[in-house]
Amino acid sequence: MLLDKSEKINDSRTPKYLQVVNLILEEIDTGKLKIGDRIPSINETSFDLLLSRDTVEKAYNELKDRGIITSVRGKGFYICSTNMSNKLKVLLLFNKLSSYKKIIYYSIIDTLGSQACVDLHVHHYNKNVLEELLEQHLGKYHYYVIAPHFFDTESHPETACDLLKRIPNDKLLIIDRAVKGFENSFAGVYQDFAKDIFEALESGIIHLRKYNRLILVFPKGDLYPVEIMDGFKRFCFFHDFKNLIVDGIDDDEPLVEEDCYIVLSESDLVNIVKKSREQSLRLGLDIGLISYNDTPLKEILADGITTISTDFQHMGKLIANQILGHEDKIPLKNPFRMTIRKSL
């Protein structure tokens, strides 16, 4: 066996426990290990590979979860399957299905390829739904990927941290947002909504200075992250911009020349484009328009809509690589940027 070669374990980005898993899978693949063969004990492998006992135990538990090895009380660990097609099982729990969530989903699927199967469910921002899903599925998956967007019955944000902690920490990955107050407690890929909008607007401040006022259109009842408002207010305060936050664009209320509108919903985006045409206001000259979350359609709508957006495809790829062990399982902030187009 190659397990007595400590040089096989290196300081790559692949966690050491997964390197141990891969060593054993490699020996199965090359025929050095067969069904019924005994593998070294946790203590023996820990000594041979100069690794902590906890690291080796984690690797062996991973192999047991995949159905590759089994333990026999008082005798040790044995190979019980050489079926290399054993896939990782992933439960993906989104807050909603949207065009952006679909980008994340397909990016995860494409990156995982044939190495994992993914089941998708939606918790609709509801802790009770999450609890029901966990009761049904806890213990049946190798990884649980959760978008922790939750609101109570009065539309106040809540963390659901008590439910998240029911999932073993090494099997839980958060996606899209960090858990407030526990930002460093859970691995995964997140947006920092307040910081992101602040820095994105700063990057386009030269363009914004030509407008008299910044207006954030933040719809009520659509459960958008309130941190977006916090970041917007901070930006306007630090850079001395007149500003206003409204919950929608009324049909009978005209657009104001030299205002720059920042919109979150697609309906408000379309409404402003229509109104600008009706009032003969030129986007990027008479009024400004910035849309949250980029899509290919916004590249061509009204000759180009400026966007501030995270990279959803990158987010899906990062989370998939954490599942596969190609990225460290730590909290990772996803890239966010402004894309300047004609509407600004």
Q: 6-79 and 194-310: same fold?
A: no
3-state helix, strand, coil in the chain (%, to 5): 40, 20, 40
- Answer yes or no: is pLDDT of 141 > 60: yes
Nearest one of 143, 147, 105, 100 to 123, comparing CA atoms: 147
- Start-to-end Cα distance in the chain: 63
- Answer yes or no: is pLDDT of 2 > 50: no
Average pLDDT across the chain, whole number: 91
Range 178-186 average pLDDT: 90
Range 191-195 average pLDDT: 96
pLDDT at site 140:
81
Range 164-182 average pLDDT: 92
CATH of 6-79, one of 1.10.10.10, 1.10.8.60, 3.40.50.880, 3.90.420.10: 1.10.10.10
The C-alpha atoms of residue 227 and residue 183 are separated, in whole angstroms, by 14
What's the topology of domain 194-310? Rossmann fold (3.40.50)
User: What residue ranges do the domains of the chain occupy?
Assistant: 6-79, 88-191+312-335, 194-310
Where b means 16+ CB within 10 Å and e means fewer, 252-283 reads eeebeeebbbbbbbbebbebbbebbeeeebeb
pLDDT at site 209:
97
- Name beta bridge partners: 91: 119, 144
Please tell us whether the domain made up of 88-191+312-335 is placed in CATH 3.40.50.2300.
Answer: yes
Tell me which of 142-151, 155-164, 299-308 is least confident: 155-164
Q: What pTM was computed for the model?
A: 0.76
